[in-house]
Structure 1
Amino acid sequence: MPHLGAQPFANASGTPLLRRSSACSLAVMYLFFWYFSGPLQWLIYHADVAGLDGFWQASAASLLWLIPPLLFPRWTRPIVGLIGLVLWMCSLTALAYFLIYGQEFSQSAIFIMFESNMSESSEYISQYFSWSKLAVLVAYTVIALGLWFRVRPVAFSGRAKVVLCLLIAFASVGYSALHEYRKRGDLDMRIGKFQQNLQSASPWQMVIGYTQYRQQLADMANMFEGWKAIAPLQHQVDAHAGQPATMVLVIGESTDRQRMSLYGYTRQTTPQLDALRPELDVFDQVVAPRPYTIEVLQQVLTFADQEHPDLYLTTPSLISMMKQVGYKTFWITNQQTMTQRNTMLTTFSK
C-alpha cells in the first residue's frame, strides 16, 4: 500500500512545493521592503541626479528587514506591517521631496525639516501642494498596501532559518561594514562612510540624519561655550567711540537676489534700494559657503570661511567684537526661538 504522506509537498516534476512556496513568499516579502527605497533610487538615477550606487545600496540594505519575520513566522503579517509603516512614513517624505525638486532627499533638507516649526511647515505645504503630487503619493501608498496583503509566512527549519538570517545580515550590512573597516584607516571615517551607504535606504536616511542633527546641536552648544574662553582681539578700537550709534545687521534667509532689481533683475522689485544705489556697497559676486542658514551664519558672523572653516574655534565672533568695544547687543527675530524643543536657531539666538 503506497504511503499517502510521501508526496503531498511535491509536484509532478519532483520540486518540493513547500520549498518553492517559501521562496516565493520570501521574494514577495523582500519586494515589499525594497519598494520603499529601490524605485525612488531608480528614479533618482534616471533623473541624472546620482549614479546607480544608491540603488544597489538600497537594494542590499532592504534585505535586513527580512530577518524579524523569518525569526518569528507566526507574527509575520503584524511584524511586516509595522516595519512597513515606518518605512512608508520615512520614504513618503523623500518621494515628496523628489517630486517637488527632482533631487535626492539630502542631509541639509533633513536638518531644515527638524528646525522648522508648525507654522513654517504648514506654509511650506500650502505653497507646494498640488493634486497631481497627492495622487502620486496616494498611488504609492495603495501599491504598498497591495504588496502587504500578498505577504505570507515563510517556513524554514531551525538550522536553515539561522543560516539564512546570517547570510542576509552579511549581505545587507555586514559586507559594507567589513569593506569600510578594511578600506578606511580612521574609525570616524569608517562609521561615516558606512552610514552614507545606509542612507540610500529607508528609514536610515531619516534616522542617521536626525542623529547627526542632534550631534550638531551638541557641537554648537560646545562651540558657544568655547567662545567664552577665546581671547579678545588686540588693539581693537571703535572709530566712532563716544558717539551714539546703532548698528543693524539684517539676516534675510529667504531672500533671493535673483529676483531683486538691485542686482539686475528686469522687474523693478526693489525701487527704494535702487534709489539708494549710489550710497550702497552692493556685493554681487558672493556665494554662500554652506547649504543652509545655521552653517552659513557660523562663517558669516566669524572669521571662518570656506577655505578656513575651523577659524571660529580660535577667533572671536562678530557679536563678541561688538561687545568688546562697548555695544549692547540684541537679537530680534520673527522665527520661533522660545520653545521647549531645542533647535539650532534657539541655541544660536541664546
Structure 2
Amino acid sequence: MILFKKSIFKFLVYAFIPVILFSLIGVFYTSQLKYLIKEIVEFSLFSAIIYVIGLLILRGKSRYFWFFFFLIILFTISYLKTSFYYLYQSKVTISAFYVIFETTGTESANYLSTYFDLGLIAISLLFIVFLILSLKQLNTIYKTNNSFFYFPEFNLKNIPLFFVLILFVGSLIYFINLKLKHNNFIYLAHDAYVSYSEAQQLFQTELVKPINTNFSNVSSSNNQQTYVVIIGESTSARNMGLYGYYRNTNPLLSEIKDELLVFRDVISPHTHTIPSLNKVLSLSNHENPDVIHCGSVVQLANAAGFSTYWVSNQQPIGIHETLVTAISKATKEQFYTNALTNKQVEYDEMLLPFIDEVLNKKDQKKIIFIHLYGTHISYKFSYPPHFNKFTDQPKTKFPSARSFEQINHYDNAILYNDYIVRSIIDKVKAKNENAYVIYFSDHGDEVFQDMDFVGHNEYHATKPMYEIPFVVWTSEKFQSDYPHFETLENYLDRKYMLDDFIHSFSDFSQIEFGQLQPERSIFNKDFEYRNRMIRQALNYDDR
C-alpha cells in the first residue's frame, strides 16, 4: 500500500510538471499577472480532468497509453503557452491563431530564424528534458507497480469513489466552460479555426466575385486613367529617410520628393498583415469590423468600369488561400511571381516585367494593385547582396550584436524597397498618362526603436509597428484633372488611420458610390478627424 501511495505521489508530481513549468517561467515574462493566474488555474483544472477521466474509464495498458499520450499533449500546450509569454509577454489569443492559419511555410521558417534565440532554445531544451523524465517515470511506475494502472476497479466497494470522481470531473468541466474557457488552448484553437473557416467560406463566395451588389450608385468618368496602388509589407516610416530617419534609406524617392505627397501621420489599423488589409481593402473599419464581405476596393473599381490587375510577390497559399488572395481574385487578371518558381523568396524586382506588361495593355481605364514582399521578416532575405550598404553600428537604445545586425538588415531592406517603389513610379511616369501611384505599407515593424524587440505583435504593440509610409505620386495630367489638387499640400499632417482607405481611394480615383463618406478621405476638404482606435478600445493618439 505504501508503494502504491508513493507511485501515485510520483505520478502526480510528474503529471503536473507542464503546469509547474508554465507557471514558473510565465511569471517572469508576463506583464498581466492576473491573466497568467487565470491561465494557471485553467491549465491545472484541465490537466486534472484529463487524468481523472483516465482513472474513471480506463484500466491497465489503456490507462497507461492515455497518460502517456496526454503527457505529451500537455507538455506541448505548456511549451507553446510559455514560448508565447517569452516572446510577447501575453497569453495566446484567437488573433494569434488567425496569423498562424495565414502563415506560409516560408514565413514560418523566416519567423523561426528571427526569434529562435538562446532564451527560446533554453526553454525548448528544458521542456524536452522534463518530458523525457516524466515519460520515463510513468514507464517505471507501470513496470514496478502495475496495480496503479488497474486501480480503482469498478465494484460495489468503490462506487462512492467513482461517484465522487464523476461529480468532480463534471464540476470542473462546467467551471472551465463557464469561467475559464477563453484561457484554454484547445478551446481557443478550435474556436479560431471554426470562425476562420466560416470567414473563408464567406469570402470565397462574396469577395471573389468581380461585382459586389452591395455597392450602389457607382459612377466614374470614362476618360483615360491609369492608377497604381502599391501595398508594402512590414515597412515602418520610422526607418525611412523620407520621414526623417538619420540614415538615407530613401535616396531615390528623396530625389523626387518635390513630386511626392508624403503624408506624415498615417497609421495601420493592425500590426499584422491579414487583419490590417482586411480593413484597408474593404468597407470594414474599426466601427464596423464585420462588413468585409460587403465590398472591396477591387470590386468598387470593377463596378466603376476599370480593368483591374493584381501583381503580387507574396505567396498566395497558406493553410488555405489567404483572405487577401480572395480579394485579389476579383481582379480581371492576377500575377503571382512567388508561385512561379521553387525559390523560397523572390526579390521584388521580379514584379517589374509583369508591371510593364500590365501598363502596356490598351485599357482605357485600369487600376493595378501591387503587393510587395517589401521588408518582410527575415529582413536579410528581402534584398539582394548589392544592397547591403548599411554595415556600420546603428543608433539604438538597445545595443547588442543582435540588434545591430537586425537594424542593418532592416535598413538595407528599406533601401531596396526604395529602389522598387521608385522604379514603379518611373514606369508609370514614362507612360505620360493621367495617372497616380499610391504607396503604403500594411503595417510597420519594431526594430529596436521603442522596445528591445524585432518584428510586430498586437499584444505589446509599439508606435513603429503602426507608423507607416503613405506616399502619393501624380502625373501632370492627373493634377490638371483633379479638383483642388493644389490644396493637398495642406493636408500632409492629417492624423489618419488606413481602415478608411476605401473612401480615400474612391475620392482620389474620382469614383462616386452610395457608401462614400468624404469626411473619411484624407484627400478631401471635408475630412474630419476620428479617434484612431487600436486593439479594440485604445485611442492611438492618447498613448
Normalising by the smaller structure, the TM-score range is: 0.7 to 0.9
Q: Provide the residue aligned with 2:223 in structure 1.
A: 242
Q: 2:46 aligns with which of 41, 61, 79?
A: 61
Residue 63 of structure 1, CA deviation? 1.6
Q: 1:78 aligns with which of 65, 69, 85?
A: 65
Deviations 1:102-133, CA, capped at 9 Å, x for gaps: 33333223222222222222122222233442
Does residue 257 (structure 1) correspond to residue 237 (structure 2)? The answer is yes
> 1:110 maps to which residue?
97
Which residue of the other structure, out of 188, 196, 218, is the alignment partner of 1:213?
A: 196
Paired with 1:223 and 1:161, the residues of 2 have a C-alpha distance of: 56
User: How do residues 1-350 of structure 1 correspond to structure 2 at under 5 angstroms?
Assistant: 9=1, 17=2, 20-21=5-6, 24=9, 27-28=12-13, 30-32=15-17, 34-35=19-20, 37-39=22-24, 41-45=26-30, 50-70=35-55, 71-75=57-61, 76-151=63-138, 152=141, 153=148, 155-158=151-154, 159-160=159-160, 162-177=162-177, 179=178, 195-199=181-185, 203-224=186-207, 228-234=211-217, 236-238=219-221, 241-243=222-224, 245-314=225-294, 316-337=295-316, 341-350=320-329
Structure 1 Cα separation of the partners of residues 284 and 25 of structure 2: 37
Conserved? CA contact 1:54–1:197, under 8 Å: yes
- 1:127-162 deviation per Cα after TM superposition (whole angstroms, max 9, x unaligned): 223344213211221112222333343522422553
CA spacing shift, 1:247–1:176, aligned 2, 3 Å: same
| Consecutive unaligned residues in structure 1, runs of 5 or more | 1-8, 10-16, 181-193
Give the Cα separation in 2 of the matches to 1:313 and 1:342: 16
* Structure 1 CA distance for aligned equivalents of residues 202 and 47 of structure 2: 32
Distance 1:25 1:134 in 2: 28
- Would the aligned equivalents of 1:289 and 1:296 in 2 still touch at CA under 8 Å? yes
Q: Which aligned runs of 4 or more in structure 1 are off by greater than 6 angstroms? A: none
* Residues in 2 aligned to 1:82 and 1:139: alpha-carbon distance in whole angstroms: 19
Structure number having the greater strand percentage:
2
Q: Quick one: distance in 1 between partners of 2:261 and 2:169?
A: 60
Maintained 8 Å contact 2:202/2:293: no
> What residue identity is the alignment partner of 2:52?
I
The alignment partner of 1:330 has SS state of strand
The offset of 1:97, in angstroms, is 3.3
Distance change (3 Å), C-alpha of 1:40 and 1:93 = same
Pair 1:226–1:118, CA change in 2 (3 A): closer
Shift in Å, 1:45: 4.0
- What is the deviation of 1:292? 2.5
Is residue 54–residue 66 contact of structure 2 (8 Å, CA) maintained in 1?
Answer: yes
Question: What SS does the aligned partner of 1:221 have?
Answer: helix
Q: In terms of mean alpha carbon deviation, does 319-328 or 26-35 score higher?
A: 26-35
Q: Which amino acid aligns with 1:347?
A: A
State TM-score, norm by structure 1.
Answer: 0.75
Tell me how far apart the structure 1 counterparts of residues 118 and 42 of structure 2 sit (CA, whole Å).
32
Cα gap change, 1:341 to 1:167, in 2 (>3 Å): same
CA contact (8 A) 1:94 1:104 kept: yes
Letter of the structure 2 residue corresponding to residue 242 of structure 1? N
Once residues 35 and 209 of structure 1 are traced to their aligned partners in structure 2, the CA distance between those partners, rounded to angstroms, is 27
What CA distance in whole angstroms lies between the structure 2 residues aligned with 1:282 and 1:25? 66
- Which residue of the partner structure matches residue 475 of structure 2? none
**Matched pairs, number:** 314
Distance 1:42 1:59, change over 3 A: farther
Q: Following the alignment from structure 1 to structure 2, what is the Cα–Cα distance between the partners of residues 333 and 107?
A: 27
Counterpart contact for 1:42–1:55, Cα < 8 Å: no
For 1:49 and 1:261, locate their aligned partners in 2 and report how far apart those are by CA, in whole Å. Answer: 42
Counterparts in 2 of 1:163 and 1:295: CA distance versus 1, 3 Å? same
Q: 1:216 to 1:38 in 2, by over 3 A?
A: farther
**CA distance in structure 1 between the aligned counterparts of 2:282 and 2:95, rounded to whole angstroms:** 21
Give the alignment's TM-score, normalised by structure 2.
0.51
Distance in 1 separating the partners of 2:114 and 2:83: 13
Q: Name which of structure 1's ranges 205-214 and 45-54 shifts more when overlaid on structure 2.
A: 45-54
Distance 2:255 2:274 in 1: 32
Higher helix share: 1
Q: Separation in 2 of the partners of 1:94 and 1:340?
A: 22
